[in-house]
């Protein structure tokens, strides 16, 4: 039974996306081509970033003005396998039942991608005051491999976004943090012999056991706690192990996989280096005294950093406004957000569905969750759109990140020593002079004129301040929305604000 409350376009898009088998081992090019066709049919320019095999690709697109800053919506296109799971519905098809949409990837995370595409026309039908970026990656499920080339492209760009919403399933609750992960495969190469002559062999399982014991000792040392996470400390575990052929043969090989899930402030490299040093400095010399061919090899499997974005920043307040949820939290699973965050982009995670439904048989996302995601994107679109209220004097709002810039300490509407303005938007000298002349303020002897925009207590970037350096005098012109400037004298020389970017 179809869900009548579900948007027809959204339903069709979700059905199309679920029909592609984009298990990480397979190509995602057919799905990427589908998204590309959908975007280019609407006049949106796209960019593909292929992997070395040419069988997979990221897709990047950009709408709106060619400015720096703006908002990026990010999602991965690959899904986990369905083999060995007892599905009651076809996994690569949309099945609607009792307000739920079933299919592999419905929650993780094709539901979010479908919502982004379904809302695209809203963003295209009105001018935007800042760019909207779209980023769809491959191979997230096997170590966040694909997104790295996309991040390299963004780092090389002069116009990368200021913030990013990663649409992983969070129940539409804004998420500001998660742990990082480092996974490694360890292979111990010993020397086989008859078990009656163990002194002639090198028991690979025994040496693997000593490595695991070292790891368990390391786990007891991970005492740093952060109560914002569950569990509130870094963890490690050995998840798989294989070795040996028969009880009467000294095992020649043993292999195990280990993972660390670390708090954002914990350096997983130090933990990894510790076990490698133990293997190379203590175990391998013992093994090679019996046979020089014995060794221990470590193979990286996956590695991504943790995420911790201050929930008190403007970007967090904006997401709370768009999503209608101001109760921020952390999650136990990882995302591509930690990697995006290393570019200087402010990252938050928020998307439809629950990870409790992901990665298992009969994966689903509820229609209610999809509707809430559509509502968030609608609010984002309205916030980004040029309107009479936010485009006064032909001023274009741009979110920028970069070096700290000097500014006055003030809040909209008044100047008070010790207050801090936040959210500098840009420097438009020509525009600043135009506004000042338009208001007939004395401009003789001006050495500089810079327009800053600050955020009020509600996080909205709406009020503008014009800072004029006039000889030895400095003054602030507050450009209120009603268009009547109020003049404030600066109590002290301009000082650096704590969240000011140009």
Q: Is 371 an annotated catalytic residue?
A: no
Task: Provide the 10 A C-beta neighbour count for residue 33.
Answer: 14
What's the alpha-carbon Rg for the chain, to the nearest Å?
Answer: 28
What are the DSSP calls for 24-71, one per residue?
Answer: TTS--HHHHHHHHHHHHTTT--EEEEE-TTSS-EEEEEEES-S-S--E
Task: Provide the 10 A C-beta neighbour count for residue 411.
Answer: 17
The CA–CA distances, whole Å, from 32 to 9, 28, 76, 165, 490 equal 18, 6, 11, 20, 54
Q: Is 78 an annotated catalytic residue?
A: yes
Task: Provide the 10 A C-beta neighbour count for residue 267.
Answer: 12
Report the alpha-carbon distance of residue 6 to residue 12 in Å, rounded: 10
Of 140, 314, 363, 463, which one is the catalytic site residue?
Answer: 140
Report the alpha-carbon distance of residue 355 to residue 168 in Å, rounded: 8
β-pair partners for 475: 468, 489
The CA–CA distances, whole Å, from 368 to 7, 98, 171, 305, 408 equal 11, 11, 10, 32, 45
User: Of 499, 173, 151, which Cα lies nearest the Cα of 310?
Assistant: 499
Of 21, 36, 78, 252, which one is the catalytic site residue?
Answer: 78
* Token reading at 256: 């195990």
Report the alpha-carbon distance of residue 166 to residue 352 in Å, rounded: 11
CA atoms within a 13 Å half-sphere pointing along the CA-CB vector of 276: 12
Report the alpha-carbon distance of residue 184 to residue 302 in Å, rounded: 7
Report the alpha-carbon distance of residue 347 to residue 338 in Å, rounded: 8
DSSP state of 83: T
Report the alpha-carbon distance of residue 67 to residue 400 in Å, rounded: 9
Alpha helices per DSSP H over 180-235: 204-220
Report the alpha-carbon distance of residue 108 to residue 78 in Å, rounded: 9
Q: Give the DSSP H or E segment for 74.
A: strand 71-76
Task: Spell out the residues 6+ positions from residue 186 whose beta carbon is closer than 8 angstroms to its own.
Answer: 208, 211, 255, 256, 257, 258, 275, 279, 296, 297, 298, 299
Active-site residue set: 78, 140
């Amino acid at each position: 039974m179809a869900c009548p409350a579900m948007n027809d376009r959204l339903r069709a898009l979700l059905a199309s996306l679920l029909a592609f088998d984009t298990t990480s081992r397979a190509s995602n090019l057919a799905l990427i081509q589908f998204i590309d066709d959908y975007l280019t049919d609407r006049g949106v320019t796209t960019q593909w970033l292929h992997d070395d095999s040419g069988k997979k690709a990221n897709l990047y697109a950009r709408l709106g003005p060619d400015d720096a800053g703006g908002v990026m919506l990010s999602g991965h296109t690959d899904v986990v396998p369905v083999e060995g799971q007892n599905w009651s519905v076809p996994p690569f098809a949309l099945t609607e039942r009792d307000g739920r949409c079933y299919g592999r990837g419905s929650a993780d995370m094709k539901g979010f991608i479908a919502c982004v595409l379904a809302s695209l026309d809203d963003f295209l039908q009105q001018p935007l005051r800042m760019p909207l970026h779209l980023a769809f990656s491959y191979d997230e499920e096997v170590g966040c491999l694909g997104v790295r080339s996309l991040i390299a492209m963004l780092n090389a760009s002069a116009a990368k976004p200021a913030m990013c919403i990663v649409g992983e399933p969070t129940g539409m609750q804004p998420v500001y943090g998660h742990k990082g992960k480092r996974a490694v495969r360890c292979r111990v190469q010993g020397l086989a012999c008859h078990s009656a002559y163990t002194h002639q062999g090198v028991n690979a399982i025994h040496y693997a056991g000593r490595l695991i014991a070292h790891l368990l000792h390391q786990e007891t040392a991970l005492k740093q706690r952060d109560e914002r996470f569950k569990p509130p400390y870094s963890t490690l575990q050995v998840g798989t192990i294989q070795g040996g052929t028969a009880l009467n043969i000294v095992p020649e090989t043993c292999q195990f996989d280990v993972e660390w899930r670390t708090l954002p402030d914990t350096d997983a490299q130090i933990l990894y280096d510790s076990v490698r040093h133990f293997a190379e400095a203590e175990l391998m010399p013992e093994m090679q005294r019996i046979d020089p061919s014995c060794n221990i090899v470590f193979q990286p499997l996956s590695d991504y950093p943790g995420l911790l974005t201050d929930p008190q920043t403007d970007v967090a307040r904006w997401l709370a406004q768009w999503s209608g949820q101001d109760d921020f939290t952390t999650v136990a699973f990882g995302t591509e957000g930690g990697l995006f965050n290393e570019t200087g982009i402010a990252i938050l995670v928020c998307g439809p569905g629950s990870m409790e439904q992901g990665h298992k048989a009969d994966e689903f996302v509820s229609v209610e969750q999809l509707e809430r995601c559509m509502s968030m994107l609608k609010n984002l679109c309205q916030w980004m759109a040029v309107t009479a209220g936010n485009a006064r004097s032909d001023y274009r709002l741009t979110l920028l990140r970069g070096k700290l810039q000097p500014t006055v300490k003030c809040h909209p509407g008044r100047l008070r020593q010790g207050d801090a303005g936040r959210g500098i938007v840009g420097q438009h000298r020509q525009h600043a002079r135009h506004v000042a002349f338009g208001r007939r303020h004395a401009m003789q002897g001006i050495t500089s004129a810079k327009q800053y925009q600050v955020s009020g207590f509600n996080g909205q970037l709406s009020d503008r301040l014009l800072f004029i350096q006039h000889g030895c005098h400095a003054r602030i012109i507050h450009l209120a929305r009603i268009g009547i400037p109020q003049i404030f004298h600066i109590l002290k020389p301009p000082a650096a604000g704590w969240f000011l970017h140009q």
